[in-house]
Amino acid sequence: MTVSPRAIAVAAPIAVGVLVLLAWQAACRLWHIPPYLMPAPTDIGASLAANGPALLHALRSTLAVTMAALAISVAGGVLSAFLLVQSRLIETSLMPYVIIMQVTPIVAIAPLIIILVKATMPALVVCATLIAIFPIISNTLQGLRSVDPGLESFFRMHKASRLQMLLRLRIPSALPMFMAGLRISSGLALVGAVVAEFVAGTGGSSAGLAYEILQSGFQMDIPRMFAALALITVAGLVLYGATAALQRLVLRRWQAQG
């Protein structure tokens, strides 16, 4: 019997995950590790069930920040890339500032952003966007520049207009690189949202998962901390899976097999 590579790709990581969880559970029980040091997976599951509504509410807040940041990153990143690709002079003049924005640790500038942007939610979105936007800009820019030179010559030979070059050549050529950037940015937007929440220490109705982690730490409720962490991980995986599926859908023609 032969097993398809696709089935292996799904089953193998699940098997590893199950094994790790079993080993983790066994270690906690065998060595009687107290839950405040290292909770067993069943403790985390119980905490997740007990604190479900609060944690899901926090997840919704974090995801709202993440999705808003991702949407702004896509719109802003693509527009920035189109602006930068217009001329080498524009790119040379502005690219260093894009890089400065990328290399400045968000943790260092988040307090400033939170002071400058009074409302909490927009402040969190700005922080997350600053982290997530760079891969979109750099990948889209590289994509717009990675046009097949032969195809570009073909368009020029047929005296194609700037608009024809953009719509029929540059944008489709940039799509694979843009999609790769989107995949990276989706994860970074979530990271950005959580980091921003940590720095802002946002509580109340807009409290996100980072706040849940902080509160659980203060209260020594370590299973709840792990439960919040697990939700962040699952959210990250779902985002990654969704953008990967979107990438496959959009680029199916590129990889179409006979």
Partner 1 sequence: MLAPAPTIHLQSVEKVFPNGVRGLAPLDLAVGQGELVSLIGPSGCGKSTLLKLIANLHQPSGGAVRWWGEDFSAIGREGRRLSFVFQDPTLMPWSNVATNVRLPLDLDGVPRAQAEARIMPALRQVGLEHAAKRYPAQLSGGMRMRVSIARALVTRPDLLLMDEPFGALDEFTRNRLDEDMARLCARDGLTTIFVTHSLYEAAFLSSRVIVMAADPGRIHAEYVIDPGMPRDEAFRMSDAFARICRDLTALLSEVSPRRAGEEGL
Minimum distance of partner 1 from residue 82's CB (angstroms): 19
Q: Where does residue 248 rank: exposed (0-12), middle (13-18), buried (19+ CB within 10 A)?
A: exposed
Q: Residue 24: how many CB atoms within 10 A of its CB?
A: 17
Minimum distance of partner 1 from residue 249's CB (angstroms): 13
Minimum distance of partner 1 from residue 163's CB (angstroms): 11
Query: Between 172 and 217, whose beta carbon lies closer to partner 1?
Result: 172
Give me the helix-helix angle, 171-200 and 120-145, nearest 10°.
150
Minimum distance of partner 1 from residue 181's CB (angstroms): 17
Q: Residue 157: how many CB atoms within 10 A of its CB?
A: 8
Minimum distance of partner 1 from residue 171's CB (angstroms): 10
Contact residues for partner 1 (CB under 8 A)? 148, 150-151, 153-160, 164, 168-169, 172, 175, 253-258
* C-alpha torsion 153→156→160→161, nearest 10: 120
Contacts of 137 (CB under 8 A, 6+ apart): 77, 80, 81, 84, 98, 181
Q: Give the distance from CA 40 to its chain's centroid.
A: 28
Minimum distance of partner 1 from residue 254's CB (angstroms): 5
Minimum distance of partner 1 from residue 166's CB (angstroms): 13
Residue pair 70/132 in contact by the 8 Å Cβ criterion: yes
